[in-house]
Amino acid sequence: MAETGSGTNTAEEKPDFARGIPSGDLPEGAMIEGTLGEDKVLLLRRDGRVRAIGARCTHLGAPLAKGIVVEGEVRCPWHHARFSLETGEAVGAPAFDPLPCYRVEERDGRVTVTGRRAAAPRSSDEASATTAPGRVVVIGGGAGGHACAEWLARAGHGGAVTLVSDDPDPPYDRTFCSKQYLSGKAKREATLLAPEGFYGGDGPRLLRDRVVSLDLGAEEIVTAGGERLPYDALVIATGAAPQRPDLPGFDRPTVHTLRSLSDADALIAAAESARSVAVVGASFIGLEVAAAMVARERTVTVVAPDAVPLKKVLGEAVGRFVQGLHEAKGVTFRLGRQVTGFDGTALTLDDGGRIEADLVVLGTGVAPRTDLAEAAGLALAGKDEGGGIAVDGSLRASAPGIYAIGDVASYPDPRSGRRLRVEHWVHAQRQGQHVARALLAGATLGGTAPFAETPFFWSGHYGTSLRYVGHAASAEDARIEGEVSRGDFAVTYREDGRDAALATCKRDKPSLEVEAAWDREARAAAG
């Protein structure tokens, strides 16, 4: 994944830690990237203690020296993964694999790294948990479902987990579908979230089937294949489904939505013979598809009713900046227009205009998949709250032993005091990890700490990446620092007299620092 504003030192500048560095080069609070043979190593001094861990995030290789350290964890500058300084463990998504740890000596005024060391015991609370999670059934193999299953497996309880997914593929990184894989920069196998064999043997069971009903009385789920799976804890991670407007011609095979890996396969195949692509909707997914089609050298037009792309989320200035990135690559925008239909060769617009297109991609939003929950009688959030399954602060639904996470979950946000339903990949993963921790701590028997993670997402456009932390219902009250037109900025969005969200470009460290501060606020507010 191309990233800008996150550069690393050149090879000539990186010290050889086997030879050592002067102790004075590593003052309190410092982080230095160097080498140990072929390994890239990060050397840190915190609270007077020197540690050495892997220097690159195990998610997508970001330089951790550009990140920050918070409460014994290093946070990745690109996608905000978190690692324990003590054990190297990936304690916060989107990374799952641990960092290597190294032995360090400090003597006679020099700090030297002497080799790899075995990882220390797990730092997480569940390492000493005595309550087994029982039978855990997870419905949905997306971000949250996999993260929950993976954390339970990491703690030694994978055999207790059954993940039921109606997706033909094993869990994969859905962000690749509109970014790296769709653009041709990553192979299909690179999208998978777990190594081959993870789902099987002593690990979680992956059942490729569709859940048709929840039997709350019997504490079982029923699948289309006829299986009845009993559970002690049920995690609903059914996600959301793309919305296809009810317009003439939108049922044609050349009109695509993009949600799954198989959707991306179909779109890639369709793009092979297409010359012109029309994207309906200037959403994040729509614009990422536009960028991917440009990478495949297709002519792209984006049509949307908005006057400025992403204005509702990012504000006019950032929206115009993103529009400019696309226009510089040849994308044409038809804004302020409604699509009225598709005749197989062109989109028709409300002003009588036509957009020639061999291929149409819809970026017109998604809706939470709540059918199972509604049929079972679980409480739902109101439409004015964004819909979804209503959960409490610990992500528990209205029936005992049932949790909901990810795009389908409407939860009380401690900072704002409002109910939120957030459609972010990393947020869903962290909710899955939160529920796994709760189950390992025996939460079904007596409560757990509230979920208090700050929402976060990123979006990439031709090598320029935006980071967004927090949540704001509107971008109208915005404070801009830096120069948006130059792609170097931090925009703070305010709501009810408080800072609610922050969008940044080439300012990765401030994004991390604000996220960490808001995490602390959320924990304090949650009690």
Q: Please count the residues of the chain.
A: 527
pLDDT at residue 2, rounded to an integer: 38
Residues of the chain with CATH 3.50.50.60: 129-241+367-445, 248-361
**11-123: which CATH topology?**
Rieske Iron-sulfur Protein (2.102.10)
Report whether pLDDT(31) > 50. Answer: yes
How is residue 485 annotated by DSSP?
Answer: G
Domain 129-241+367-445: CATH superfamily, name plus number: FAD/NAD(P)-binding domain (3.50.50.60)
Task: Report pLDDT digits (tens) over 410-452.
Answer: 999 999 999 999 999 999 999 999 999 999 988 544 456 899 9
Task: Report pLDDT digits (tens) over 247-304.
Answer: 999 999 999 999 999 999 999 999 999 999 999 999 999 999 999 999 999 999 999 9
pLDDT at residue 443, rounded to an integer: 53
pLDDT at residue 4, rounded to an integer: 37
Mean pLDDT computed over 170-198: 95
Report whether pLDDT(489) > 50. Answer: yes
Q: Are 79 and 70 in contact (CB under 8 A)?
A: no
Alpha-carbon distance of 249 to 23, in angstroms, equals 69
The highest-level CATH class for domain 248-361 is alpha beta
Alpha-carbon distance of 321 to 287, in angstroms, equals 13
Q: Residue 283 region, left (φ>0) first, then alpha (ψ -120 to 50), else beta? A: beta
Helix, strand, coil shares of the chain as percentages rounded to 5?
A: 25, 30, 40
Q: Are 377 and 370 in contact (CB under 8 A)?
A: no
Residues of the chain with CATH 3.30.390.30: 456-526
CATH 3.30.390.30 fits 456-526, yes or no: yes
Residues of the chain with CATH 2.102.10.10: 11-123
**Per-residue b/e over 346-375, b at no fewer than 16 CB within 10 Å?**
bbbbeeeeebebbbbbbbbebebbbebbee
What lies within 8 Å, CB to CB, of 241 at 6+ separation is 259, 366, 367, 369
User: Interior CA angle at 256 toward 255 and 259, to 5°?
Assistant: 165
Alpha-carbon distance of 200 to 147, in angstroms, equals 16
Report whether pLDDT(6) > 90. Answer: no
Report whether pLDDT(148) > 60. Answer: yes
Lowest-confidence segment of 10-24, 191-205, 330-344 by average pLDDT? 10-24
For residue 121, what pLDDT band results from cuts at 50, 70 and 90?
low
